[in-house]
Amino acid sequence: MDLELGIDTFGDVTLDSDGTLVSHAQVIRNVVDEAVLAEQSGLDVFGIGEHHRDDFAISSPETVLAGIATRTERLRLASAVTVLSSDDPVRVFERFSTLDALSRGRAEVILGRGSFTESFPLFGFDLANYQELFEEKLAMFVELRKQGPVTWEGALTQSLHGVAVFPPVENAPLPTWVAVGGSPESVIRAARHGLDLMLAIIGGPVDRFAPFVELYHRALEQLAQPTGRVGYHSFGHVAATDEEAVEQYFGPYVSSMSRIGRDRGWRRPTREAFLFELEHGSMVVGSPEKVARKIAAGVKALGASRFSMKVSTGPLSHELISNSIELYGSRVAPLVRDMLA
């Protein structure tokens, strides 16, 4: 099976060995080291998410990915996600085509509306246009991706008149995914534009997303679009034993979810709810054997060709993240491939 196994990180600000927060600059350097380790461990993809708040260090994923490109040779380099709604599609295309050149064809962009809204006021966009901004900018990006002179009449974007954008992607088209959190309209939008589908699964069982995959493939067929790839992303952590993984991950997970939850009205996660999610939900936390079984089951349920594990969660330390990455690449990935063979 042609399955890619990868990592997502948001560059969460972590704790060092004496329990103090690491600087944002050091977190970014640590993320580059984690990507190098991911390639050395045999993983296929490294994705970095965009955020504009103090608990995440990375606001410019493609800049960090460019640094990673200079220290790796095989790893595919993706955003996870690029918040297109509050960006300029021309600049996004230019940045990723530059990354593609620097990495010799390893760049990918995953476009989404994002699960945070800090970038909208930061860059002068009105949240009242949340839906319309993404619709228009995605359509514009699709035109730019064709790499011909672009003529575009914008309502919420600039207008272009026979404009070519540089640098062109060396081996076009630029691999492009649309991140979807569970909206049928978003699934159909990805199919309408002929783009790959990335499911962001942050809770609940993986198989509940199977109808969205069926909808995606049906829409592609009805819209006469070529077959697209399906991937999914979920939280995860690997340690030597199930018990170690749970003890290492629970505290940072609660810290992160509680902080985000204060803004969104979520209840603080309990240990019982956490353990229930480990048993029945999408989260892959445990020994290599347990994590491999869960990933294999999820890939089968969705017919996915890519799985990305979010390895940074709250203040989970760089050392524990690195150990998780090494186990994921050297132990989990071969087990998953064997299970699916």
**Residue 246 pLDDT:** 98
Give the integer Cα–Cα distance in Å for 169 and 196. Answer: 18
**Residue 267 pLDDT:** 82
Cα 8 → chain centroid:
5
Name the β-bridge partners of 286.
Answer: 238
Q: What share of the chain is helix, strand, coil (3-state, %, to 5)?
A: 50, 20, 35
Please give the single-letter amino acid code of residue 239: A
Q: Are 209 and 201 in contact (CB under 8 A)?
A: yes
Tell me the three state secondary structure of residue 28. Answer: helix
**Residue 266 pLDDT:** 80
Domain ranges of the chain: 4-340
Which one-letter DSSP state was computed for residue 157? S
C-alpha closest to that of 310 among 15, 71, 39, 49? 49
For the 4-340 domain, the top CATH level (class) is: alpha beta
- N-to-C CA span, the chain: 7
Q: CA dihedral defined by 58, 63, 68, 71, rounded to 10 degrees?
A: -140
Give the integer Cα–Cα distance in Å for 295 and 293. Answer: 6
DSSP per-residue codes, 252-299: HHHHHHHHHHHHHTPPPPPHHHHHHHHHHSS-EEE-HHHHHHHHHHHH
Give the integer Cα–Cα distance in Å for 247 and 16. Answer: 17
**Residue 1 pLDDT:** 58
Q: Is 129 exposed, middle or buried (0-12, 13-18, 19+ CB in 10 A)?
A: middle
Give the integer Cα–Cα distance in Å for 117 and 129. Answer: 12
Tell me the three state secondary structure of residue 231. Answer: strand
Angle in degrees, CA 243, 33, 103, rounded to 5: 125
**Residue 19 pLDDT:** 84
pLDDT in tens, the chain (341 residues): 599 999 999 999 998 878 899 999 999 999 999 999 999 999 999 999 999 999 999 999 999 999 999 999 999 999 999 999 999 999 999 999 999 999 999 999 999 998 899 999 999 999 999 999 999 999 999 999 999 999 999 999 999 999 999 999 999 999 999 999 989 999 999 999 999 999 999 989 999 999 999 999 999 999 999 999 999 999 999 999 999 999 999 999 999 989 888 877 788 889 999 999 999 999 999 999 999 999 999 999 999 999 999 999 999 999 999 999 999 999 999 999 999 99
Q: CA dihedral defined by 245, 248, 250, 254, rounded to 10 degrees?
A: -140
Please give the single-letter amino acid code of residue 68: I
Taken as a whole, the chain contains a residue count of 341
Q: CA dihedral defined by 78, 119, 268, 277, rounded to 10 degrees?
A: -20
